[in-house]
Chain A
Amino acid sequence: MSVEALVNGALLGGLYALVALGLSLVFGIMRVVNLAHGIVVLAGAYAAIVVTRVVQVDPLLTFVVVGPVVFLVAALTQRLLLQRLLGHSLEAPLVATFGLLLVGQGLFTFGFGTAPLSLDAPWGRSGVTVLGLTVQAVNVVAFALAVAVVVGTQLVLTRTRFGTALRASAADPATAGTLGIDIPLMHALTFGAAAAIAALAGIVYGTAFSADPNAGLPLLVLGFTVVVMGGVGSVPGTLVGGVLVGVVSVAVGGLLGPVYSPIAVNLLLLVLLLVRPRGIARPAWLGPLRIGKAPA
């Protein structure tokens, strides 16, 4: 295993972070595990495929259309469906989003068939050489996007009034509510933004790899892994988690063989859950999390 391979893996971790960020946001702010998250990522890829069939543009440009559409659909889903389940228990939103996963999978099979489809872009099939290391251009794009989105999200959360309101509604929804913060609106915006980021991840994923209706669950598991490794609800943590997954996969694959990569990643996930159930980098502003019980 070479330095080149490790760098490539770390850069690919940027894509993993993009996939995971939305999951982490929804979990951190709404305390909902969105089992349909992988489907949202795929929705981004499929929507971009539809757009590029109509107008031949670079897949990334389609985000101008795909992003707002996915944002709107997700925000409405949250407002009309999930919000009413939030007061209940852990399993209510979990089960509902699982239903969304099934529906999405059915819709994609119906609309696009089961064969993989992919987005084509010059940066999806070329390499770049920096400092004598040849890496895939798509990984560089993914990493740059991930850094931009992670920094942007972190700035919104920590430096804006909106972010303050969001953090308040996550830390103490009851008090935030009495202070006049419209919590359902906060949740809808969070869910929409998380979905839009997932859609962006989907566009990059579809360009780097491909999209097929059965990829929803593996993408969700990937997201989970990254979220847990980076610390649930921590925005910068997703980047750490993504890079960690990328590097561990490459290192184990190179040393022991690729067959052991998924075993190693899952094992690491389990060990991390046990020794640091709150992840590597957990922000103080989230306060103590009691995920077993949702706040009233």
Chain B
Amino acid sequence: MQTKKSAFAALAASTALVLALGACGSGSDSGSGGGSSEPVVLGTTLPLTGPLGIFGPPIQAGYEQAVAAINGAGGVDVGGTKRPLKLVVKDSKSDPTVVTSTAKSLINDDKAVALLGSVTPPLTIPFSVVADSEQIPAISPLTPTLAWKGANAGGWKYAYDVFVDETEQTLVNFKASDLVETNKKVALFTDTEEDGKAMGALWEQQAPAAGYTVVYRAEFPVGTTDFSQFVQKAKDSGAEVMIAQVIPPDAAALWKQMKSLGYAPKTAWPEKGGTVGFPDAAGPLAEGATVFGWWTPTNGNVGGQAVYDANKAKFGDGLGTQAVVASYAMVQVMADAITRAGSTDPDAINKALGATNGLDTVWAKITIGPDHRAVVPATAVQWQGKNQVTVWPKEQATGTFLAPAPGLAAQG
């Protein structure tokens, strides 16, 4: 008797569960046909929380402002009718598996006709996989393009990536260091994450041609807090150019230990660990730390300065705001593709997106290549106070390169 009751309860519960889920999923049922004045839905899944949570808000701001600007001008032209854009934002919690589920949800539940991406290969690769498997066009800013390309040997079909090329980006450290006098000896501190490994190899590879010698390299697991014996070795190696590719908390610890042990290289690069908020993490030692950037007022962009200035107060004069600009441009590229496609059919948008050629955006002039990448030139920016000043290329510089890095230099 008890058995029947429990079996029945089991069935009832599971049915209720299925029904409840069904009810929640079946809301709107509109297709993506053209001709109407319904909003065109763009979806994005961003790291608003979790370890990459600092990157979510500026990207979201860029997407929202671009959508507002386009809607303010009447919307996006789809086959002769102006339709408003609608942006749907979901939190990926900096977790690749959540990226996958939220990206699918954007397509299935929110009926997004195209997707906008976020940062770093671990998040952007699964995001791009969803785009390819669901056959919905997707474009990402701020994800190094070679690593992204390398993750899909067969070539991406619906996913696109606009950012720097790592080969050029790793040369920036040397070219910018050429601006000051050093002994051209390099110490590398890289972590075991994908970009740490890949870029570490590129720095080693490219140093000789750029006239530099890597005299010391150490590899660290993420979460390393005690770097002291390796700092000592780097100091003993006499390297005057120091490049690190470790996450922000590790970079803060590394900088403090360099200062404590009196290692004061002429140029010091915390790279991904020093992108945003480095002075909060490393205090006064952040002064003079240099990392790569991706936008300058004079890099050939159209209208970038206005977007930059409008966000400077909130995201700081530096890479946070450069991320806003880059994200803003993704909406421009997508809107342009939708207009050229003349419909919101994902395949038509995908085709038009792939044909993007010489489009003027707030970020730079953007041309998408046959490998679905658009490469934006890398720059070098240096922490000076609470701001990041562009110091290389020289003709686009907004300030002078301080060397040796003042935060690490010995006092008095």
Contacts and interface: CB of A to CB of B under 8 A. Distances in A.
Give yes or no for direct A-B contact (beta carbon below 8 Å). yes
Contacts of A5: 228-229, 232
A261 B221 CA distance: 9
A262 B223 contact: yes
Contact of A210 (B224, B229, B252, B257): B252
B150 interface: no
Given A113-B54, A257-B219, A259-B192, A209 B49 contact: no
Interface in B243-295: 248-249, 252-253, 256-257, 259-262, 276-277, 280-285
Contacts of B284: 120, 125
Which of A115, A127, A134, A246: most chain B Cβ within 10 A?
A115
A8 B218 contact: no
A136 interface: yes
B211 interface: no
A116 B283 contact: no
A258 B220 contact: yes
B249 A116 contact: yes
B339 to A, nearest CB: 37
A210 B254 CA distance: 11
Nearest to B235: A134
Given A2-B232, A118-B281, A136-B261, A212 B226 contact: no
Interface residues of B, number: 37
A295 interface: no
B216 interface: no
A254 B252 CA distance: 21
Interface in A1-26: 1-2, 4-5, 8-9, 12
Interface size class, chain A: 35 or more
B253 A258 contact: no
Interface string A118-148: 1010001111000000111110000000000
A124 B259 CA distance: 9
Nearest to A212: B249
B232 A259 contact: no
Given A208-B253, A258-B220, A261-B221, A115 B248 contact: yes
A117 interface: yes
Contacts of A136: 228, 257, 260-261
B232 A210 contact: no
A127 B280 contact: no
A8 B261 CA distance: 11
Interface string B203-233: 0000000000000001111011110111010
Interface of A: 1-2, 4-5, 8-9, 12, 109, 113-118, 120, 124-127, 134-138, 208-210, 212, 214-215, 218, 246, 249-250, 253-254, 257-259, 261-262
Interface of B: 49-54, 192, 218-221, 223-226, 228-230, 232, 248-249, 252-253, 256-257, 259-262, 276-277, 280-285
30 contacts: A1-B229, A2-B229, A4-B229, A4-B232, A5-B229, A9-B229, A12-B228, A109-B49, A109-B53, A115-B280, A115-B281, A116-B280, A124-B260, A126-B259, A127-B260, A127-B262, A136-B228, A208-B253, A209-B253, A210-B249, A210-B281, A210-B282, A212-B51, A212-B248, A250-B226, A253-B226, A259-B192, A261-B221, A261-B224, A262-B221
